[in-house]
Amino acid sequence: MAKPMTRRQKRVSELLRREICYLLKTKIKDPRLGFVTVTDVEVSFDLKDAYVYVSALEGAERKEEILEGLNSASGFLRRQIAEALRLKFIPRLKFLWDDSLERGQRIEKILRKLAEERNERGDSESP
């Protein structure tokens, strides 16, 4: 079982999330990263690694291309973060695809289908 994040980890995670969002919107010119959204950032206990969860408007079709673009920009992002934030260590950025939106949509679709089937059965059984 994973340990809960400390207050410091939460604070650094939120600072990094905000700064990375800002940098993606204003400083990164890579066309592969046009509609990328940072959904969450989790930092390791020692604050040396940051796991940046992202998704995109286009969905998972361009997942590999987007992650490749983000990883190629990670050095630039770290330098920009170092200039903007006062942190003892600037964590290594590791970009991961957040598929929670797609999973949520699949679950919602299944629940809707079950509700429709239940309504059809209920309608056909009533006089």
Residuewise pLDDT in 10s, the chain (127 residues): 567 889 999 999 999 999 999 999 999 988 888 789 999 999 999 999 999 999 988 777 888 999 999 999 999 999 999 999 988 889 999 999 988 777 777 788 888 888 888 888 775 555 4
Residue 107 lies in a domain: no
Which residue type sits at 41? Answer: V
Give the residue numbers spanning the domain of 60. Answer: 7-98
- CATH number, position 72: 3.30.300.20
Residue 53 lies in a domain: yes
Number of domains in the chain: 1
Residue 105 lies in a domain: no
Residue 120 lies in a domain: no
Residue 60 lies in a domain: yes
pTM of structure: 0.78
